[in-house]
C-alpha cells in the first residue's frame, strides 16, 4: 500500500486574503474547496494506504467527514510539514506527496505517474512536463521552465519519496524546495559548472539526476509525464479563474 501526504499549509498570501480563507487549500472552485479535488484523485487510487493532510487542523476537520484522512498540524516550511507527516505515518515504503493546490489532478494522472515510477527502485521521483505538452493544454499560462538538451520542461507538484532517505537529505532538500520557482538559483546549488551549462542550454537530464543524487545522498529520477495537470498549481488569480472555468459547477 502507498501512504500519501497532502500539503495544505503555508503562508497566507494574496489569493487567501482576497478569498478570505486561511489556507490556499480552502479556496473554492465553483463552491467546492480545492483540496477536495486532490483528495478525490488520491483516495481513488487502488493502492492507496493511509492519507495524511498537513495544515490548519481546525479548519480542515470537515474533511474527515468525507475522506479517510488523518490530520496533522502544520509546522512551518514545506519540508517541516513533510517531516511532521512522515513522523506521524512512520511509513517504511515509498510515500506519495502532493500539494493541495492542483485541483485538476485525477486518478488517471496519478496512475500514469506511478506506473512510470514503477518498480520504485530509486529514492526520489519527480514528474516533469514538456513545454509543448503544458502549453498545448494550457496555452498562455505562465509556468517556470528549465531548458535542457532533451527539451524544455516544467515541474509537477507531486513526488514519490523513500522515507528512509529523508533525514539525510534535509539540509539541501529544503534549499531545493525554497528555490523551486527560480531555476537559476536551483541550478546554483549544483555548482558553478552547472550554472554555465544551464546558461548555455547544455545541461542534460541525466547529468542533473546524477548531481542531485550525489548532493542529496539518494537516487533521484526525473519522470517525463504527459499530463500537465500534475503541475498546474493555483498560484495567481488568473490560475484560479481558469480552473473555475474548467471545473464543473455545482
Sign of CA dihedral 221, 226, 227, 231: positive
DSSP per residue, 186-237:
HHHTT-HHHHHHHHTT---HHHHHHHHHHHHTS-EEEEE-S-GGGG----SH
150 falls within a domain: yes
Give the pLDDT of residue 149.
93
The answer on pLDDT for 79 being more than 90 is no
Identify whether 119 is part of a domain: no
Give residue-wise pLDDT tens across range 173-201. Answer: 777 777 777 777 878 888 878 888 888 88
Residue 70, phi then psi, degrees to nearest 5: -115, 135
Q: Are residue 42 and residue 93 in the same domain, yes or no?
A: yes
For residues 24 and 34, the answer to whether their CB atoms sit within 8 Å is yes
Number of domains in the chain: 2
Quote the pLDDT of residue 168.
76
> What residues make up the domain containing 28?
1-103+234-250
Residue 207 is assigned to a structural domain of this protein = yes
Report the chain's mean pLDDT, rounded to a whole number. Answer: 91
Region 108-112: mean pLDDT is 98
Q: Are residues 32 and 19 in the same domain?
A: yes
Does residue 4 sit within a domain?
yes
Asked if residue 120 belongs to a domain, the reply is no
- 108 within a domain of the structure (yes/no): no
- pLDDT for 249 equals 66
Cell numbers given for 104: 485538476
Amino acid at each position: 500500500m502507498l501512504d500519501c501526504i497532502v500539503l495544505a499549509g503555508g503562508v497566507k498570501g494574496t489569493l487567501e486574503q482576497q478569498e478570505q480563507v486561511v489556507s490556499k487549500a480552502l479556496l473554492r472552485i465553483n463552491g467546492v474547496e480545492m483540496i477536495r479535488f486532490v483528495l478525490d484523485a488520491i483516495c481513488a487510487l487502488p493502492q492507496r494506504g493511509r492519507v495524511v493532510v498537513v495544515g490548519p487542523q481546525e479548519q480542515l476537520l470537515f474533511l474527515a467527514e468525507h475522506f479517510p484522512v488523518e490530520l496533522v498540524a502544520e509546522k512551518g516550511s514545506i519540508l517541516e510539514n513533510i517531516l511532521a507527516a512522515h513522523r506521524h505515518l512512520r511509513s517504511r515504503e515509498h510515500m506519495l506527496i502532493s500539494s493541495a493546490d492542483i485541483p485538476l489532478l485525477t486518478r488517471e494522472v496519478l496512475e500514469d505517474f506511478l506506473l512510470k515510477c514503477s518498480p520504485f527502485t530509486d529514492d526520489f521521483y519527480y514528474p516533469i512536463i514538456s513545454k509543448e505538452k503544458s502549453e498545448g493544454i494550457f496555452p498562455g499560462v505562465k509556468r517556470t521552465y528549465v531548458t535542457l538538451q532533451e527539451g524544455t520542461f516544467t515541474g509537477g507538484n507531486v513526488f514519490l519519496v523513500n522515507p528512509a532517505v529523508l533525514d539525510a537529505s534535509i539540509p539541501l532538500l529544503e534549499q531545493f524546495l525554497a528555490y523551486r520557482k527560480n531555476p537559476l538559483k536551483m541550478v546554483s546549488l549544483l555548482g558553478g559548472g552547472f550554472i554555465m551549462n544551464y546558461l548555455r542550454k547544455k545541461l542534460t537530464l541525466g547529468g542533473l539526476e546524477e548531481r542531485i543524487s550525489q548532493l542529496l545522498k539518494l537516487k533521484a529520477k526525473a519522470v517525463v509525464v504527459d499530463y500537465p495537470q500534475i503541475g498546474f498549481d493555483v498560484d495567481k488569480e488568473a490560475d484560479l479563474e481558469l480552473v473555475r472555468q474548467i471545473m464543473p459547477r455545482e
